Amino acid sequence: MMAETKPENCEKIWKKFLRNHWKMLIIFIVGAVLAFIAAIYVFLWFVGEAQLTGLAPPILSGWAMGHFIPFLLHLIFWVFLFVGIPVIIAAASTYFLWWKKLPSEERKEYRDRHLFGKRSHKTDGGEGISFLVSIVFCIKVYLDGNWGVPFATWKFDYLVYSCLWAFIWVLIIFGIPIAIGGIWWLHREMKKES
């Protein structure tokens, strides 16, 4: 009898985990989506408030490092306060109320067979998304008629909402097919095991 290879081992443990805990996976996905949406709302709220309070100038020509660094530090604070802390509380609650209540043999099996993978030091990939967002951003600026308009005359809100618009469209264009494919694959794999 041959020993299982690492990819097969990892694939089997994932199938077992999904078969036994598919409801928790759905809860994790919904929680991640809600946290992402909350982070966007906090970001947009803070952009508006920063301009009202004078922390950030409304026109890009008025920006300097003296505006950028305090803006960034305040943004990190508010996102951590309104999104980070609830996510930490939810993760700790999940750990103590769900993960710790699993039988110790099952937890050990998930750990030993690397359910959550091994840490990797690879950093390739990810540049493609920012490139696509940049392309979509350029298309939006062109369609808005701001292609030849100097950046210094743009409003800060226009820059923020245009970047967000580009990011959301990239997510829609690629995220929906990936989600459909992932759901189809999970459904097919779950039926194979039955």
pLDDT in tens, 15-49: 777 777 788 888 989 999 999 999 999 999 999 99
Residues 4 and 90 in one domain: yes
Residues 79 and 4 in one domain: yes
In the listed set 61, 94, 117, which residue is the last one of a domain according to the structure? 117
Q: How far is CA 192 from the centre of its chain?
A: 30
Whole-Å CA distances, 50 to 55, 74, 77: 5, 9, 13
Residues 79 and 137 in one domain: no
Residues 102 and 129 in one domain: no
Residues 5 and 31 in one domain: yes
Residues 135 and 85 in one domain: no
Residues 19 and 78 in one domain: yes
In the listed set 85, 117, 149, which residue is the last one of a domain according to the structure? 117
The identity of residue 125, as a single letter, is: G
- The model's pTM is 0.71
Residues 22 and 103 in one domain: yes
Q: How far is CA 18 from the centre of its chain?
A: 21
Whole-Å CA distances, 72 to 13, 16, 52, 173: 41, 43, 16, 29
Q: What is the 3-state secondary structure (H, E, C) of 26-65?
A: HHHHHHHHHHHHHHHHHHHHHHHHHHHHCCCCCEHHHCCH
Q: Give 43-51's long-range contacts (Cβ < 8 A, gap of 24+).
A: 43/75, 43/79, 43/160, 44/160, 44/164, 45/78, 46/74, 46/75, 46/78, 46/79, 47/156, 47/157, 47/160, 48/157, 50/74, 50/75, 51/156, 51/157
Residues 22 and 79 in one domain: yes
What's the number of domains the chain is made of?
2
Residues 43 and 19 in one domain: yes
Task: Report the distance separating Cα 170 and Cα 140, nearest Å.
Answer: 12
50: CB partners within 8 A, 6+ apart: 56, 71, 74, 75
What's the pLDDT tens digit per position in 40-78? 999 999 999 999 998 988 888 888 878 888 999 999 999
In the listed set 69, 98, 117, which residue is the last one of a domain according to the structure? 117
pLDDT at 114: 61
Average pLDDT, the chain: 84
Q: At what angle do helices 156-193 and 6-53 cross, to 10 degrees?
A: 160
CA atoms within 13 A on the CB side of 191: 6
Question: CA nearest 10: which of 121, 122, 117?
Answer: 117
Residues 49 and 138 in one domain: no
Per-residue confidence band for 1, with pLDDT thresholds at 50, 70 and 90: very low
Structural domain that includes position 18? 1-117
**CB neighbours of residue 46 within 10 Å:** 19
